[in-house]
A and B are shown apart, each in its own frame.
Chain A
């Protein structure tokens, strides 16, 4: 079967690339575009480590065939870092609060937090817990993650 030409705006940059039919957004980002912050975890929509923003909404990118989202705006963790290479508030708060541990869930956690803070700049602890309820941290470091997101909200 022929490859498909995909056009997406990824981290504010227009990208055109070919994918084999049936490629997920996650695999397109990682394998075609070399953006490896979003992780391939369960590929079942259960772990959340592939979380990206699709037209501003946090979604599990392993569940989205990229051919279904032609023309969409996609933001990954790479697009959160400022053009001068400095970290944004959420990234800095995770670093300062050691909210990373092994780091496998971190990209997804930060993207879920970015989606939350975009809509709700002053979240409660309960709001934060709800926002990351689809993101699993197998180090079980949730307390420091919740604290970092609240910290980021206060810095912004």
Chain B
């Protein structure tokens, strides 16, 4: 089957190509593995590479806007975003991060998408090509950028099978001053741990136990749902206390 590849040089061009039935191709780290199996039914890819959607800019002293096609490597290299480096370093390998994009991370299935977990904890907004701005949790269609405020007290922890290049068993991202706590690897999508957030006033232990009411874990090759449920409180507590995984 033949596969058309479009490389429009504007958002309008991307939208026009999508109208004709194309699939968005950002970094390709999730789309291309499916394409390479040859059984997708996809007939056209619409690349964002030339659409001018990459870049990191400060809107004011604390608010940052990141273009959807910014790679994870570019994000990690942004001097203002040093707090995100440990999270980005825990995602896949450098060879993947050189391709994978910020916008794409919002759409990858769990247990991938650790940046999406961070963005949820940051209460990031997604700018959509149709002009709307929504929570990253509600991103759909073509995302053009995400915006968020740089936190004062940031926590990130990811439990994985190997120390590098492994998907999530449990991912915890938190902004303590609010508090906002988001979890990955423990539900079909990244989740805000609203019970844990409410309990955090009583301390990290209380928040860790309460997090069990925020999850809906699954079995996969990395861990069983049983195991994830067992270790969620441990990792939430360690994250909130700033301890290692």
Residues on A lying within 8 angstroms of B by beta carbon are 1, 4, 20-22, 24, 43-46, 48, 51, 54, 57-60, 62-65, 67-70, 112, 115, 129-131, 133-135
Question: Which of B3, B47, B93 is close to A68, meaning CB atoms less than 8 Å apart?
Answer: B47
* Residue pair A21, B94 in contact (C-beta under 8 Å): no
Question: Counting CB contacts under 8 A, is B165 at the interface?
Answer: yes
A32 to chain B, nearest CB (A): 15
Tell me, in angstroms, the Cα distance from A64 to B49 when the chains sit together: 11
* Residue pair A134, B96 in contact (C-beta under 8 Å): yes
**Known interface pairs A43-B36, A70-B7, A133-B93; A58-B98 also in contact (CB < 8 Å):** yes
Q: Which residues of A contact B98 (CB under 8 A)?
A: 54, 57-59
Residues on B lying within 8 angstroms of A by beta carbon are 2-5, 7, 25, 27-29, 32-33, 35-37, 45, 47, 49-50, 73, 89, 92-96, 98-99, 164-165
* Residue pair B92, A20 in contact (C-beta under 8 Å): no
Task: Provide 10 A-B residue pairs closer than 8 Å at the C-beta atoms, listed in order of the A residue.
Answer: A21-B2, A21-B4, A22-B3, A45-B32, A60-B99, A64-B28, A65-B32, A68-B25, A115-B94, A133-B165
Tell me, in angstroms, the Cα distance from A107 to B50 when the chains sit together: 29
Q: Which residues of A contact B7 (CB under 8 A)?
A: 67-68, 70
**Known interface pairs A68-B47, A130-B164, A131-B94; A1-B2 also in contact (CB < 8 Å):** yes
* Residue pair B95, A60 in contact (C-beta under 8 Å): yes
Question: Which of A45, A57, A59 is close to B33, meaning CB atoms less than 8 Å apart?
Answer: A45
Chain B minimum-CB-distance residue to A20? B2
Q: A43-B36, A134-B165 are in contact. List 5 more A-B contacts (CB 8 A).
A: A44-B33, A45-B96, A58-B98, A67-B47, A135-B95
A105 to chain B, nearest CB (A): 13
Q: Which 5 A-B pairs have the closest CB atoms?
A: A134-B93, A22-B3, A134-B95, A43-B36, A67-B5
Tell me, in angstroms, the Cα distance from A48 to B5 when the chains sit together: 24
B201 to chain A, nearest CB (A): 38
B72 to chain A, nearest CB (A): 12
Tell me, in angstroms, the Cα distance from A63 to B95 when the chains sit together: 10
Which of A20, A67, A70 has the most chain B CB atoms closer than 10 A to its own CB?
A: A67
* Residue pair A60, B4 in contact (C-beta under 8 Å): no
Which of B28, B29, B47 has the most chain A CB atoms closer than 10 A to its own CB?
A: B28
* Residue pair A68, B49 in contact (C-beta under 8 Å): yes
Tell me, in angstroms, the Cα distance from A69 to B50 when the chains sit together: 9
* Residue pair A22, B5 in contact (C-beta under 8 Å): yes
Chain A minimum-CB-distance residue to B28? A63
* Residue pair B99, A64 in contact (C-beta under 8 Å): yes
A27 to chain B, nearest CB (A): 10
Tell me, in angstroms, the Cα distance from A151 to B235 when the chains sit together: 38
Q: Which residues of A contact B73 (CB under 8 A)?
A: 57
Tell me, in angstroms, the Cα distance from A67 to B7 when the chains sit together: 8
B54 to chain A, nearest CB (A): 13
Q: Which residues of B contact A54 (CB under 8 A)?
A: 98
* Residue pair A62, B5 in contact (C-beta under 8 Å): no
* Residue pair B94, A133 in contact (C-beta under 8 Å): yes
* Residue pair A24, B32 in contact (C-beta under 8 Å): yes
**Known interface pairs A44-B33, A57-B98; A65-B28 also in contact (CB < 8 Å):** yes
A80 to chain B, nearest CB (A): 16
Q: Which residues of A contact B35 (CB under 8 A)?
A: 22
Tell me, in angstroms, the Cα distance from A62 to B45 when the chains sit together: 15
